[in-house]
Amino acid sequence: MKLKQTIGWGVLAVFLSFAAYSCKSKEKVATNSEVGQILDDMPCEKAGKSDKKYFRAFSMSTSSDLSLSKEKALLLAKQRLVTLIQSNTKSVTDRYVNEREVGSASEFEQKFENLTREVADETISNIVVACEKSSVLPDKKYRSFVAIEVAKEDVLNSMNNRISSNAKLQVDYDKKKYEEIFNEEMQKMANERGY
């Protein structure tokens, strides 16, 4: 009987030790040292949200060199902006083709996709830096935040100019209808972001 009681107390001690260790390790995980510092304030994040008039993108980057952290943040924001423009324009093109009777829909869509890539790359030269901030971290590295934007009108004008110079695309292109769908997609994007 005494042996069973001793074993029972031993098992209980091991269980309590394990439980105490588990609780202690959970506390460690929640500290800043293991997870990293949570960024409550993200400078430039709000300035990087698209609305119905502007395509916008936000990014941040860290580096031991200030100018490199700024360049990396800007490059990432540009990549995001190009992706956003391409995605939006693809949605517009898909809707346009579905709502209109286009002669060769697949050829039209393919040409529009190529055109969209060219326009997105071209409009990057028209970006405006809406916000740029940097900070020094405790480890002496720099963190840079950037938000960029390009006007919807710049993208739309560039698309119209490209289409005007392509005789095959012009046959199936209704500028007014395309712009109407484009504006609806911009409004939809703004509504999704709460603007």
Q: Which residue has the higher pLDDT, 115 or 147?
A: 147
Q: What is the pLDDT of residue 102?
A: 64
Question: Is residue 70 scored above 90 in pLDDT?
Answer: yes
Model pTM score: 0.73
| Position 29 confidence tier, pLDDT thresholds 50, 70, 90 | very low
Q: What is the pLDDT of residue 195?
A: 55
Mean pLDDT of 3-26: 46
Mind giving me the DSSP string for the chain? -HHHHHHHHHHHHHHHHHHHHHHHHHHHHHSHHHH----S--TTTGGG---SSEEEEEEEEEESSHHHHHHHHHHHHHHHHHHHHHHHHHHHHHHHHHHS--TTHHHHHHHHHHHHHHHHHHHGGG-EEEEEEEEE-TTS-EEEEEEEEEEHHHHHHHHHHHHHT-HHHHHT--HHHHHHHHHHHHHHHHHHTT-
Structural domain spans, the chain: 2-34, 45-192
Question: What's the topology of domain 45-192?
Answer: Thiol Ester Dehydrase; Chain A (3.10.129)
